[in-house]
């Protein structure tokens, strides 16, 4: 038999050492001293770590861009109008670190307004029945806005250093729906023998249907906007009126004329003849109107006149519902 090599001897020695350690575990009720060092530690030193209770930026739970003079529609803006930005913001966490800064980027509506502070408080905006905890200062939209949908955003910060940006949309509109309310029928709203009603920016067919049947030799229904800001303008061009109507008369046509006004100053008018036996339908007509510059408190007014004697006592006009989306679109 050959004598064991040095390598075999080293391997055998290692096996005997491991066996001795194993025997020590079995025989001793206490762990080896070297293992006892791992049983407890008084200071983890650089190995220590902590967790943050607030990992997320504050969340915008409600928001709206609203005209300062019309607190019922919401989400619609016209050129050269005064407006506010409203928001509700909630910060979460266990515990939440707390909202510190809220700003709005409405540069798509207001020139240079890329970081408008929203100030904490209690603010009422009746559109949708929501109360808001943040609001901007009074802003004025650009007089060169193009009708259509624009984007804007809110940025939120909290004490934990979290920052969030949320994007929203608003609509620049030149269309006013003929409404059923009477909020705007004060100063500078023309009288109407057939009644005075609101017309709301962007709110076409947004309520309970209203109607008026021509009673006799002359009748006028008046629709008035909210008040304009000083310096707001509308250009000259084509104005379009859409009106839902019917004529139950078998032998009398009815001439209806719509006129656009700034307060009591006519900007232009156009008419349409409603034929006999006309079932309920919507008609549209276009007419040329002049430009206008508004002073603070001025209103835009549309009158609808029945103008041909008793010819119109079988004619009814309808508005303020999805089935009667009567409106005016200005240049």
The domain segmentation of the chain, as residue ranges, is 59-172, 175-329
C-alpha 68/C-alpha 89 separation (Å) is: 21
pLDDT, averaged in runs of 10, over the chain (331 residues): 51 47 45 41 48 84 91 88 96 93 98 97 84 97 94 97 97 95 92 92 89 82 94 96 96 94 98 95 96 96 85 92 96 95
Predicted pLDDT at 131? 92
Task: Tell me the β-bridge partners of 175.
Answer: 329
Q: Whole-angstrom Cα distance, residue 238 to residue 94?
A: 59
Beta strands in 3-70 (DSSP E): 59-67
Give SS3 for 95: coil
Which residues 6+ apart lie within 8 Å of 325 measured at CB? Answer: 177, 204, 205, 242, 244, 282
Which token pair is 177? Answer: 């729906």
Distance CA 104, CA 151 (A): 11
pLDDT of 50 reads 53
What are 233's strand-pairing partners? Answer: 293
Model pTM score: 0.80
Looking at residue 70, its pLDDT comes to: 78
Nearest to 249 by CA among 277, 214, 274: 277
Q: Which CATH architecture has domain 175-329?
A: Sandwich (2.60)
Measured CA distances, 49 to 14, 93, 182 (Å): 39, 19, 64
Buried b (16+ CB within 10 A) or exposed e, 64-96: bbbbebbbbbbbbbbbbbbbbbbbbbebebeeb
CATH fold, domain 59-172, is: Immunoglobulin-like (2.60.40)
Alpha carbon distance 302, 299 (integer Å): 10
Cα torsion angle, 282, 287, 292, 295, sign: negative
- The confidence score (pLDDT) of residue 34 equals 42
- Asked if the domains 59-172 and 175-329 are classified in one and the same CATH topology, the answer is no
| Other beta carbons less than 10 A from residue 283's beta carbon | 16
Rg (CA), the chain: 37
DSSP secondary structure letters along 279-290: EEEEEEEEEEE-
> At a CB cut-off of 8 Å and minimum separation 6, what does 303 contact?
190, 192, 220, 221, 222, 223, 258, 259, 261
């Amino acid at each position: 038999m050959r004598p064991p090599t040095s390598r075999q001897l080293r391997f055998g020695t290692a096996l005997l050492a491991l066996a001795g350690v194993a025997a020590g575990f079995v025989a001793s009720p206490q762990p080896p001293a070297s293992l006892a060092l791992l049983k407890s530690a008084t200071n983890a030193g650089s190995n220590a770590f902590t967790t943050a209770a607030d990992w997320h930026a504050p969340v915008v739970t409600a928001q709206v861009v609203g005209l300062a003079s019309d607190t019922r529609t919401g989400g619609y803006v016209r050129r050269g109008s005064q407006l506010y930005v409203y928001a509700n913001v909630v910060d979460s966490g266990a515990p939440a670190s707390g909202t510190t800064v809220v700003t709005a980027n409405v540069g798509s509506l207001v020139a240079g307004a890329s970081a408008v502070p929203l100030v904490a408080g209690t603010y009422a905006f009746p559109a949708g029945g929501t109360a808001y905890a943040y609001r901007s200062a009074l802003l004025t939209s650009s007089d060169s806005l193009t009708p259509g949908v624009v984007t804007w955003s809110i940025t939120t910060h909290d004490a934990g250093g979290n920052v969030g940006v949320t994007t929203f949309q608003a609509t620049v509109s030149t269309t006013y729906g003929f409404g059923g309310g009477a909020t705007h029928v004060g100063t500078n709203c023309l009288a109407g023998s057939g009644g005075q009603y609101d017309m709301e920016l962007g709110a076409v067919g947004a309520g309970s249907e209203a109607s008026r049947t021509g009673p006799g030799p002359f009748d006028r229904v008046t629709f008035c906007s909210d008040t304009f800001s000083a310096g707001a303008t509308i250009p000259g061009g084509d104005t379009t009126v859409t009106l839902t109507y019917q004529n139950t008369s078998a032998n009398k046509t009815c001439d209806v004329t719509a006129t656009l006004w700034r307060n009591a100053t006519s900007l232009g008018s156009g008419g349409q003849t409603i034929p006999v036996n006309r079932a309920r339908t919507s008609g549209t007509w276009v007419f040329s109107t002049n430009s206008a510059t508004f002073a603070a408190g001025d209103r835009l007014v549309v009158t609808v006149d029945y103008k041909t004697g008793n010819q119109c006592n079988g004619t009814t006009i309808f508005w303020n519902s999805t089935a009667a989306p009567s409106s005016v679109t200005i240049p």
